[in-house]
Amino acid sequence: MIKNVLVTGAGGFMGSHLCSRLAESGYKVKAFVHYNSLGSWGWLENAPFKKKIKVFCGDIRNRDSLRGAVSQSDSIIHLAALIAIPYSYYSPEGYVDTNIRGTLNLLDLARERGIKKFIHISTSEVYGTAQFVPITEKHPVNPQSPYAASKSAADFLALSFYRSFDLPVVVARPFNTFGPRQSARAIIPTIITQILSGNKEIKLGSVYPTRDLTYVADTVEGFIKAMECKSSALGEVINIGSGFEVSIGELVKIISRMMGIKVRIKSEEERKRPAKSEVERLLADNSKAKKLLGWRPKYSLEEGLKDTIFWLKDNNSIYKPHLYNL
């Protein structure tokens, strides 16, 4: 039985929600957070069930700092990664070191330990602009940014350990997750925090791309079901997405309507991706998750946005909406 679960990237947005949900469900949670001189655990500092979570500080690029956390675990859910797409244009080497080499370190240690389940967290960005919709797991992998390329490589590395060494790997591929605690570089906090700051003109990049937005509680439930699933999911890639798409421009209208404030959009060149790097459309086919995991989204876009707006109203002071966050 899986009792001890290691979550890497535990101090981040999705990781902190996942740790809380696991602890609430009775798992013994090992949280691996990035070492820093302040001793900060990121979003775990104020997360529910914090006292039930054992925290390890280190760096996934350093195998020695991972070893202790892996040795005390039965299962791993691997979220740790550099994720900001714009910053990957400036520092592609860092994305290779963290997202590829860091994943290799963890896979090697998982193999040594005899881990019972390794859930590798991917991203819908590896698909690139949809060549057909909805996007199934058989869609070509076509990364359009250094970030997406590094995650694609990590995905294939994880699957190679399943095929070569029988490591029990599942690749969970979330589409655009949102909710409380999300970083300022993401589109929904970008919109909401600018409105909360009194701005009537919202600064964004391109407004035409569409995204499949999934509330964080649904996404982490998908990760847990992937960990708990039977052998039929091993070696598989599984989309975790709502199956609903909305353009960035329409998203602004929905949020502004919910907040009762009329705004206009100013599209700035510095916020746009390079033309050939922009992912124009993402829409998940989640039928495989329903079939293999028994997972389906419970929250509508509006329900998730309501919770997110409420949380950001209470925590807006920690964001810097006047700045463009890479």
Domain CATH code at residue 308: 3.90.25.10
The verdict on residue 232 lying in a domain is yes
State mean pLDDT over 41-53.
92
Does residue 122 share a domain with residue 55? yes
Domain CATH code at residue 25: 3.40.50.720
Give the position of tokens 């100013």.
266
The pLDDT confidence band at residue 65, using thresholds 50, 70 and 90, is very high
Whether the pLDDT of residue 77 is over 90: the answer is: yes
Does residue 72 share a domain with residue 221? yes
The verdict on residue 121 lying in a domain is yes
Q: What's the rounded Cα separation, in Å, for the pair 234 and 89?
A: 33
Whether the pLDDT of residue 204 is over 80: the answer is: yes
Helical ranges in the chain per DSSP H: 13-24, 63-71, 85-90, 92-95, 102-113, 146-165, 187-196, 216-228, 248-259, 287-293, 301-315
The verdict on residue 286 lying in a domain is no
Does residue 147 share a domain with residue 52? yes
Does residue 269 share a domain with residue 137? no
Average pLDDT, the chain: 96
Does residue 54 share a domain with residue 106? yes
User: Could you read off the pLDDT of 246-271 as tens digits, one per residue?
Assistant: 999 999 999 999 999 999 999 999 99
User: Could you read off the pLDDT of 285-307 as tens digits, one per residue?
Assistant: 999 999 999 999 999 999 999 99
User: Could you read off the pLDDT of 145-161 as tens digits, one per residue?
Assistant: 999 999 999 999 999 99
State mean pLDDT over 118-131.
98
Give residue 324's pLDDT: 87
State the amino acid at position 19 in one-letter form.
Answer: C
Does residue 124 share a domain with residue 194? no
Whether the pLDDT of residue 194 is over 90: the answer is: yes
Does residue 208 share a domain with residue 147? no
State mean pLDDT over 133-153.
98
Does residue 234 share a domain with residue 207? no
Give the structural domain span for 106: 4-177+215-240
Does residue 254 share a domain with residue 173? no
Whether the pLDDT of residue 1 is over 80: the answer is: no
Query: How large is the C-alpha radius of gyration of the chain?
Result: 19
The verdict on residue 291 lying in a domain is no
The verdict on residue 288 lying in a domain is no
Does residue 39 share a domain with residue 158? yes
| Angle, helix 63-71 to helix 102-113, in steps of 10 degrees | 40
Closest CA to 301 of 210, 201, 233: 210
Does residue 123 share a domain with residue 168? yes
Candidates 147, 162, 215, 299; catalytic one: 147
User: Could you read off the pLDDT of 209-259 as tens digits, one per residue?
Assistant: 999 999 999 999 999 999 999 889 999 999 999 999 999 999 999 999 999
Number of structural domains found in the chain: 2
- Is 147 catalytic? The answer is yes
Termini Cα distance of the chain: 41
Does residue 198 share a domain with residue 80? no
Give residue 185's pLDDT: 87
The verdict on residue 86 lying in a domain is yes
The verdict on residue 293 lying in a domain is no
Asked whether the beta carbons of 59 and 36 are under 8 A apart, the reply is: no
State mean pLDDT over 53-59.
97
Q: What's the rounded Cα separation, in Å, for the pair 74 and 4?
A: 5
Give residue 321's pLDDT: 87
The verdict on residue 165 lying in a domain is yes
Whether the pLDDT of residue 322 is over 80: the answer is: yes
State mean pLDDT over 91-105.
98
